[in-house]
A and B are shown apart, each in its own frame.
Chain A
Amino acid sequence: DVKVTQSSRYLVKRTGEKVFLECVQDMDHENMFWYRQDPGLGLRLIYFSYDVKMKEKGDIPEGYSVSREKKERFSLILESASTNQTSMYLCASSIGQVWDTQYFGPGTRLTVL
């Protein structure tokens, strides 16, 4: 079974802090994704990566950056956290074509105070 793990289930940070969210997949998938999930808005793509060191912006990249130094790991970085970044963050991965089935991690509930 594909396993996508996220470093924390719950995280509380203060405004202005630098925040790192880590995601690891164990199935050698080429593609990895970061979404945020908000009530009434569904999932919105922040960034995705189709190869090591490669990244593309999604629909809402402002205020976020990403890093993919190794194939299995994809990090989401909030350079200076703000309260409007309080959300559920979901990581996903897929093999082969970017547009095919994605496998999701359990999510990180981030609260910025």
Chain B
Amino acid sequence: AQSVTQLDSQVPVFEEAPVELRCNYSSSVSVYLFWYVQYPNQGLQLLLKYLSGSTLVESINGFEAEFNKSQTSFHLRKPSVHISDTAEYFCAVSSNTGNQFYFGTGTSLTVIP
């Protein structure tokens, strides 16, 4: 069975400061990892994903995440946040041995001017 843990339910950060949103997973098989973002009053949209290859993946708006197999983590980072990054962020895990997605409980990022 797979599961996803997002330890931080809320993360306030000042504008232009760095941020890290933590995600840990548990799985006995090879996994695929995703970060989704949900802006206020909108559905979720994919931010970035790791399927294979380079363990460092990047999004078009400056976020990056690194797959760390030994630590079973896929933390999301951004060196300098903007007001527009205020949103709910969800980590998700799946594998090709099962037909399900597992989402974390979400982290609410609030960027303070």
A interacts with B? yes
A residues with a Cβ closer than 8 A to B are 4, 33, 35, 40-45, 48, 50, 56, 58-59, 90, 92, 97-107
Within the complex, what minimum Cβ distance (angstroms) separates A80 from chain B?
27
Q: Counting CB contacts under 8 A, is B49 at the interface?
A: yes
Contact A58 B96 (CB under 8 A): no
Contact A106 B42 (CB under 8 A): yes
Contact A99 B43 (CB under 8 A): no
A residues near B105, Cβ cutoff 8 Å: 40-42
B residues near A107, Cβ cutoff 8 Å: 43
Q: A59 vs B102: C-alpha distance in the bound complex, in angstroms? A: 10
Contact A105 B99 (CB under 8 A): no
Could you give 10 example pairs across A and B, Cβ below 8 Å?
A42-B104, A43-B103, A50-B99, A56-B99, A98-B99, A99-B98, A99-B99, A100-B32, A104-B36, A107-B43
Q: Counting CB contacts under 8 A, is B90 at the interface?
A: yes
Q: How many residues of B contact A (CB 8 A)?
A: 25
Q: A33 vs B107: C-alpha distance in the bound complex, in angstroms? A: 22
Contact B44 A104 (CB under 8 A): yes
A residues near B51, Cβ cutoff 8 Å: 100
Q: A98 vs B105: C-alpha distance in the bound complex, in angstroms? A: 21
Contact A45 B99 (CB under 8 A): no
Contact A101 B44 (CB under 8 A): no
Q: Pick the contact of B90: A33, A42, A101, A106 (CB < 8 A).
A: A42
B residues near A41, Cβ cutoff 8 Å: 105
Q: A107 vs B43: C-alpha distance in the bound complex, in angstroms? A: 6
Q: A58 vs B104: C-alpha distance in the bound complex, in angstroms? A: 15
A residues near B73, Cβ cutoff 8 Å: none
B residues near A43, Cβ cutoff 8 Å: 44, 90, 103
CB contacts under 8 Å to A, within B34-91, are: 34, 36, 41-46, 49, 51, 90
Contact B99 A40 (CB under 8 A): no
A residues near B101, Cβ cutoff 8 Å: 33, 45, 99, 102
Which A-B residue pairs are the 6 nearest by beta carbons? A104-B43, A99-B94, A42-B105, A43-B103, A104-B44, A98-B99
